[in-house]
Amino acid sequence: MTQSTLPILQNYINGQWCYSSAGEYLDVVNPATAEILAKVPLSTAEELNRAAEAAQTAFSTWRRTPATQRVQYLFRLKMLMEDQFEELANIITIECGKTLDESRGEMRRAIENVEIACGIPMMMQGTNLEDIASGIDEFMIRQPLGVAAVIAPFNFPGMIPFWFMPYALACGNTYIVKPSEKVPLTMQLVFQLIDRLGLPPGVINLVNGAKETVDAILDHPAIRAISFVGSTPVARYIYSRAAANGKRVQCQGGAKNPVIVLPDADLEMTTRITADSAFGCAGQRCLAASIAITVGEARQTYTEAIAEAATSRVVGYGLEPSVQMGPVITPQSRQRIEQLIQQGAESGATVLVDGRSPNIPGYDQGNFLRPTILQNVDPASEIAKTEIFGPVLSLIHLDTIDDAIALVNSGQYGNMACLFTNSGAAARKFRYEAEAGNIGINIGVAAPMAFFPFSGWKESFFGDLHGQGQHAVEFFTQTKVVVERWSQKDWSRRF
């Protein structure tokens, strides 16, 4: 496909597809083949303003649409997503690099959030109390905020917008989606499905772009709430600027997720699960295992087993059925990960399994690494603290579970921590003491189901209310307390 025949992606504003007036475009590139798939516009602040104004206009009518009617659109969206399930998964693999099974899992989680949001008529219920004083009743109701927006990351282009968007719509808000400029194709198909729902114009909008578009979202006075998932530095920037503008904000940041392996852990299960956690999605997820802390006698047996699992993992193009791990997103990402591996080696770690510069037959232009394991990593070293966001697992050995928990809690991040054991007492101690928002016991990726919030502590989250479930309902609504009195003589009045 030549540059002149590449598809130009469009925005979706006020119920209409429209080409951007942007003067700058980025190539959308398949990370496995280096094929240019499309061109995405870096939309201007003026275009974001049009979307926000359309959403603001639509809000006055949408908020008055009964919740039971609002969720009917979500029921229809779920059915359309089920019908297009394989096509959505294929697009994620093509533009993001995941295996097809990983992309299918992502879309299943997206649909799961639509299903949960369909329960908004129950989830938005308030509370009431009659006769708080003689003849006086008091009750609390939930009302929508207004216009909300999501700034989405590249690593889950199908799932993460659905942590927020269906709840916002079901609660009566209007919405703007800004997908990652690296992976905008998935949302193009999602919005083709949304376009078939017959929603009132302006209720949901899609604006492609990069930093200028993001800053316009952060500064626009009509936008009341912002959701973000990405790195900690960007999360801090978005949270600070949006909060300074009086907006409600939830920002999921980076992670350095540890897993602790005790001597009594089931070795086969632990190895399989932690390998999937560390190397699945090429390590490009905020719940990827990054550090494995072996305790006591687990050191030798686990080290040998995880090295074998890393070496034998099949790497290649995610559309091929036998492939277990795809590429990282860009050449720059691959270069950064390789540099961090080298820094780890220079700081004293042993590169037990080296995944740099792999030979992937037929895909020499792809952004490939193989699984990498660093052994004898110094807990105080930079490699033990830095989010790598690639298929790299660092091994650290400690003598006791207390030492391991202390190391977990000393980190700046608090997204996830997991323990592998057959001891109920150890599991209870760990879940009670570990300072992380998502805890796994014999689980490698402690990803909450949609009816639980996706938690996160410390430098992994900025805000109070997380995505998904009841937290999303609380984030996208504001409470109003009503105290009212009616005279008893009014009770018998006839009209």
What's 141's domain CATH number? 3.40.605.10
Identify whether 492 is part of a domain. Answer: no
Domain housing 270: 257-441
Closest Cα partner for 97 from 159, 179, 154? 154
Residues 199 and 317 in one domain: no
Whether residue 449 is contained in a domain is answered as no
Transcribe 51-71 into DSSP letters. HHHHHHHHHHHHTTS-HHHHH
Fill in the DSSP letter of residue 455. -
pTM: 0.95
Is 196 within the bounds of a domain?
yes
Q: Is residue 59 part of a domain?
A: yes
Per-residue pLDDT tens digits for 40-58: 999 999 999 999 999 999 9
Across the chain, mean pLDDT equals 95
What pLDDT sits at residue 481? 93
**β-strand partners of 250:** 227
Q: Are residues 202 and 301 in the same domain?
A: no
Average pLDDT for residues 136-164, to the nearest whole number? Answer: 96
Is the residue at 85 inside a domain? yes
Is residue 57 located within the same domain as residue 174? yes
User: Residue 495's pLDDT band (boundaries 50, 70, 90)?
Assistant: low
Q: For residue 100, tell me if it sits in a domain.
A: yes
Quickly tell me which residue has 């960007």 as its tokens: 234
Q: Please report whether residue 34 resides in a domain.
A: yes
At 90 the pLDDT is 98
Range list of H helices, 43-164: 45-62, 67-83, 85-96, 100-117, 120-123
Q: Give CA–CA dist 39/36, Å, rounded.
A: 8
Count the domains in the chain: 2
Indicate whether 350 and 225 sit together in one domain: no
Helices (H) and strands (E) in the chain, counts: 16, 22
Q: What is the pLDDT of residue 106?
A: 98
In the predicted model, is pLDDT for residue 218 greater than 60? yes
**278 vs 23, higher pLDDT:** 278
DSSP state of 315: B
CB 386 within 8 A of CB 255: no
Residues 254, 39: Cα–Cα separation, whole Å: 28
pLDDT above 90 (res 19): yes
Predicted confidence band of residue 491 (pLDDT cuts 50, 70, 90): low
Q: For residue 259, give both structure tokens.
A: 């897993």
pLDDT number for residue 410: 97
CATH number of the CATH domain containing 267: 3.40.309.10
- Secondary structure letter of residue 206 according to DSSP: E
pLDDT band at 134 (very low <50, low <70, confident <90, very high): confident
Q: What is the mean pLDDT of residues 155-180?
A: 98
Q: Which residues are catalytic?
A: 286
Q: With pLDDT > 70 as the criterion, what percentage of the chain qualifies?
A: 98
pLDDT, average across residues 374-379: 97
Q: Is it the case that residue 493 has pLDDT exceeding 80?
A: no
Q: Alpha helix (H) ranges present in 118-266?
A: 120-123, 165-170, 185-194, 211-219, 232-244
Q: At 341, is the secondary structure helix, strand, or coil?
A: helix
Give me the mean pLDDT over the 342-359 stretch. Answer: 96
Same domain as 307, residue 402: yes
Which tens digit of pLDDT belongs to each residue from 186-195? 999 999 999 9
Do residues 110 and 173 share a domain? yes
Q: Is the model's pLDDT at 454 over the cut of 60?
A: yes
73-126 pLDDT, tens digit per residue, is 999 999 999 999 999 999 999 999 999 999 999 999 999 999 999 999 988 887
How do residues 294-332 score in pLDDT, each as one tens digit? 999 999 999 999 999 999 999 999 999 999 999 999 999
Q: Is the pLDDT of residue 3 over 60?
A: no
Q: In the prediction, which pLDDT does 290 show?
A: 98
Helices 85-96, 100-117: axis angle to 10 degrees equals 130
* Residue 166 sits in the same domain as residue 145: yes
Residue 376: per-residue pLDDT: 96
For position 129, what pLDDT does the model report? 77
Q: Which pLDDT score is estimated for 125?
A: 84
Same domain, 165 and 266: no
Question: 36-41 and 25-29: which strand pairing?
Answer: antiparallel
Q: How confident is the model at residue 490 (pLDDT cuts 50, 70, 90)?
A: low
Q: Give the other-Cβ count within 10 Å of 244's Cβ.
A: 11
Residues 160 and 207 in one domain: yes
- Spell out the residues 6+ positions from residue 205 whose beta carbon is closer than 8 angstroms to its own: 11, 12, 13, 14, 51, 54, 55, 174, 175, 176, 177
Identify whether residues 69 and 139 lie together within a single domain: yes
Cα Rg for the chain, rounded, in angstroms? 24
pLDDT, position 492: 60
Same-domain check for residues 379 and 242: no
Q: Which of 154, 178, 155 is nearest to 165 (CA)?
A: 178
Q: Region 11-18: what's the mean pLDDT?
A: 98
Instruction: Report, as an integer, the average pLDDT of 399-413.
Output: 97
Give me the pLDDT at residue 197, please.
98
488 located within any domain: no
344: which 2 tokens? Answer: 């780890």
27 within 8 A of 11, measured Cβ to Cβ: no
Domain co-membership, 224 together with 290:
no
